[in-house]
Structure 1
C-alpha cells in the first residue's frame, strides 16, 4: 500500500514537471493556497465524520493527509490552471476533462483500496467536488473575494 500511495503522489509531481506547470506557481500561488486551505478545512470540519478517508498501511495517516493538502491537490489545480483556455467553450471542455480524469483517478484509487468511502459518499460525489475544485480555483484567479464567499456558501450547502 505504501508504494501505491507514493506512486500516485509521484505521478502528480511528474506530470507537473513534464508539463512545466511549476513555472506558473508565482502566477497562481494565491489560488493554490486557497485550494490547500479549503482541503485542510474539510479535514477540520469533518474530523469526526469523514466522508472518505485514505487507507494508509505503513504510512502515517496525518502525514498522508498533509501531503495531499500541501502538494497533491494544489498540484492538480496547478496542472489545470497552467493550461486554462481562453474561450468559454474550451473552458467548459477543460473543466469537464480535468474533472473526469481526476474522478477516474480516484475511482482507480478506490479499486486499489487506497481510499474508503463512508456515509453514502461515492465516486459521483467526488466528481462533483473535483468540478467545484477546478471551477473555483480558476474563479479565484479572477475574483478571489467572491470565490471565498461562494466557497463558504457551498460548504454550508454541502
Structure 2
C-alpha cells in the first residue's frame, strides 16, 4: 500500500508544482474526461473479470484513492508535457514513453497488490495505453476547437 500513498504524493506534488502550459479549464475538462473514461473501462473490466483494484466487485475507499489520487495528476502531467508543436516522431516517442512508464507502474501495482489481473495481462495494457493517451490528447484538441468556436459565435 505504501507504493500507492507514495505515488499519490509524488504525482500530485509534481502536478501542483510544474509550470502550467495550459489553461485551468483545459486541465479540468481533461481530468473529467479521464475519470469518465476510466470508470467506463474499469466497469467493463470488472464485469468480464479482466482486472480491478484491490478486491473483485467491491468499491471501497482504497479504490477511490487510485481514482482521485493518481488519475487526475497523471492526466495533468501527460497533457502538460506533451510536445504540441513537436514533430510526429517526437509526439509518438512521448506517448510511447508514457505507455512504457504506465505499463511498468501497472506491473508494480499488481506486484504490491492494489491491482489484480485475471483474464488480462500487461501486453494488453502496453497496447492500450497509447490509444488511451491519444484519446486524452484528442480531448484537449476537441476542447480547444469548441472554445474557439464559442469565441467566434457564442450561443446563448
TM-score, normalised by the number of residues in structure 1: 0.74
Report SS of the residue matched to 2:60.
helix
Would you say how many aligned residue pairs link Structure 1 and Structure 2? 139
> Is the contact made by 2:99 and 2:130 (CA closer than 8 Å) also made in structure 1?
yes
Paired position in structure 2 for 1:9: 8
> Cα distance, 1:23 vs. partner?
7.4
Paired position in structure 1 for 2:147: none
> Cα distance, 1:47 vs. partner?
4.3
Say whether residues 1:38 and 2:21 are aligned partners.
no
Paired position in structure 1 for 2:63: 65
2: CA distance, partners of 1:114 / 1:122: 15
> Is the contact made by 1:95 and 1:131 (CA closer than 8 Å) also made in structure 2?
yes
TM-score, normalised by the number of residues in structure 2: 0.74
Say whether residues 1:75 and 2:73 are aligned partners.
yes
1: CA distance, partners of 2:45 / 2:105: 23
Provide, for residues 98-157 of structure 1, a one-character-per-residue CA deviation record: whole Å limited to 9, x for no partner: 1111111111222223321012x011112223222211100111136xxxxxxxxxxxxx
Runs of at least 5 residues in structure 2 that lack an aligned partner in the other structure: 144-156
1: CA distance, partners of 2:114 / 2:10: 15
Report SS of the residue matched to 1:5.
helix
Distance 1:24 1:67, change over 3 A: farther
Say whether residues 1:129 and 2:128 are aligned partners.
yes
Deviating more after overlay: 99-108 vs 71-80: 71-80
Paired position in structure 1 for 2:115: 115
Say whether residues 1:27 and 2:26 are aligned partners.
yes
Distance 1:100 1:47, change over 3 A: closer
> Cα distance, 1:22 vs. partner?
9.6
> Is the contact made by 1:77 and 1:133 (CA closer than 8 Å) also made in structure 2?
no
Say whether residues 1:105 and 2:105 are aligned partners.
yes
Runs of at least 5 residues in structure 1 that lack an aligned partner in the other structure: 145-158
CA RMSD, aligned part only?
2.5
Distance 1:54 1:44, change over 3 A: closer
> Is the contact made by 2:46 and 2:52 (CA closer than 8 Å) also made in structure 1?
no
